[in-house]
Structure 1
């Protein structure tokens, strides 16, 4: 009798366990997101307090009377204890309020909404270039391991890691713009179309193609192709190296030997079996590469006068506009966290082995 009751209780607890496990995973995931974002808020807040720049002086200037400076300091909450300032900063950040930019006199969040699509467009095209070239090159290097082809691919990746991007950007402008005239001058769109073309999404190339403005699309393409290719090259260096590593690991597995024993063609083994299994961790690599381009395009945007978030942060930093600097840094950090978590979710969905953990 007791055995039957125990068996029944175990049977009844299984549905509850199946429901509790996803809920526990969701709670754990939410806790990780909240903790990571809170840590990002803490870092940006204390960086803003450590930097020897007085935000009151940045707003009023050094010739303002002491009474006005004291009044602005109270309005900004800088007279409060540090922990109260942090609580106020967190509250404002969660509401999307990063203050007002001294440089543009606009709300920082409005400026970010205006410039961030340019960075997204540049980083997206760069990631497409890096992935479209990096994955085949990595596969080719792994298949021809130790050959001259493998050495060339590895040197290409090494140069991509070693050469400073600002130097390569200046050199490419000198060659492809000043000497050959293959690309347009720095900027995002030509002067002839700057005021006549209306973008709805902030993604100029996509909007121009969608609206059928072929002349505008060609002009935008001539502006974006060089900086996107440079970012794509640095993305290619990382993606090709990781693809080579993943493919070498897969080509040494027993199922590859079994596939060759069955008489399958080498192309099918490489592209349909080995690359398919290597694509699972490769999704995470590509996602992180995309996040790195969003985060690290500051120098590229500065050299090419690309009106994105990187150039916005650089100009704000040069003018001691700390609200804009911290707001832009926080948005980039939150984007990086979001893409990182999304790649982790995709990895769990694509790899069946993670469901059993």
Structure 2
């Protein structure tokens, strides 16, 4: 009897796991198809003719009609979407008018720069944002709490392009603490070999410490700017999570046992708050990958954001749509991954 009961439980657990995996896969597929659909129809709504972007405004009408037919733009919209869907699923986003390269090739070249910038920005935001959020929660209502909240409010309110221009004026033009906009000085551009596309990693692996210093002087200002906006979000959420944990009964019990306040805050409250914080940091990272367009434009950072901006200015819709799909896919992927990680770290959510 006991064996049959255990077998039924094991079967129920396996069935629940299978349904959970199936729901996850359905969510991924549905979200990705929705992303492709939204991207495609927005691209068709924008008043830019891709044929004229390729041929120019003075192309003869018969040439325009022939190219339009070759690209399939004379077909009904639903047929165009099916063709776009089939090509996108195979990684074919067409050819860039601006660079004459396949869009996916261009994205592989520029996307590592965006990942590197967003990663450094997230590290800065997390290293500073979490302690500030903890401190604000512990000192709730004090001057320190008000200062941290004001810092976060400014981070949410100030336009990033305005703050970027001011930081360039101060730290580059006046103080000369950082290098000029760009990713690397031209004298170091060919002094190391880019293997991974992540210049900091490649230079460190090859022991090019002079190149590392130049790369650091280029990345520190735009990464700090992104890190500040990440800090505003992370510190606010950390404060909220810590306030919730500090009001729990186990904190009262820990204090009654005579544990030090430092141990209670950093080894008990923060440990429990770390589970939702993982999701917050992951979403912040995805947001920096998605929202670094203005930062890359201001600092001439050769990443995917600048690539999309230049493509949009030159009516290169294949590149714009391809870059948008990639950024959207990464954002959705990180979002789903953070949700899965949250369920893994917090056993209470597995049964939901």
TM range (shorter): over 0.9
Which structure 1 segments of 5+ residues have no match? none
Give the equivalent residue in structure 1 for 2:81: 86
Which whole-Å CA distance do the structure 1 matches of 2:263 and 2:204 have between them? 36
Give the equivalent residue in structure 2 for 1:211: 206
- Which is further off, 67-76 or 311-320? 67-76
TM superposition outliers: structure 1 runs of 4+ over 2 Å: 7-16
Which whole-Å CA distance do the structure 2 matches of 1:249 and 1:212 have between them? 46
Give the equivalent residue in structure 1 for 2:36: 41
What are the equivalent positions in structure 2 for 1:31-70 lying under 5 Å apart? 31-70=26-65
Question: How far has the Cα of 1:10 moved from its partner?
Answer: 5.7
Instruction: State whether structure 2 residue 301 is matched by structure 1 residue 306.
Output: yes
Which whole-Å CA distance do the structure 1 matches of 2:301 and 2:49 have between them? 29
Which structure 2 segments of 5+ residues have no match? none
Give the equivalent residue in structure 1 for 2:345: 350
- Which is further off, 197-206 or 63-72? 63-72
Question: How far has the Cα of 1:16 moved from its partner?
Answer: 2.2
Q: 1:95 aligns with which of 90, 100, 104?
A: 90
Question: How far has the Cα of 1:73 moved from its partner?
Answer: 1.0
Give the equivalent residue in structure 1 for 2:284: 289
Instruction: State whether structure 2 residue 156 is matched by structure 1 residue 161.
Output: yes
Instruction: State whether structure 2 residue 104 is matched by structure 1 residue 109.
Output: yes
Question: How far has the Cα of 1:8 moved from its partner?
Answer: 8.1
What are the equivalent positions in structure 2 for 1:116-195 lying under 5 Å apart? 116-195=111-190
Question: How far has the Cα of 1:9 moved from its partner?
Answer: 6.6
SS at match of 2:350: helix
Cα deviations across residues 139-186 of structure 1 (Å, max 9, x unaligned)? 000000000100110010011011111011000001100101000000
Cα deviations across residues 80-111 of structure 1 (Å, max 9, x unaligned)? 11111111111111100000001111100000
Question: How far has the Cα of 1:64 moved from its partner?
Answer: 1.5
Do 2:192 and 2:206's aligned partners in 1 also have CA atoms closer than 8 Å? no
Q: 1:321 aligns with which of 301, 307, 316?
A: 316
Which whole-Å CA distance do the structure 2 matches of 1:317 and 1:207 have between them? 31
Query: What TM-score do you get using the length of structure 1 for normalisation?
Result: 0.97
Instruction: State whether structure 2 residue 261 is matched by structure 1 residue 266.
Output: yes
Query: What TM-score do you get using the length of structure 2 for normalisation?
Result: 0.98
Matched residue pairs, number?
352
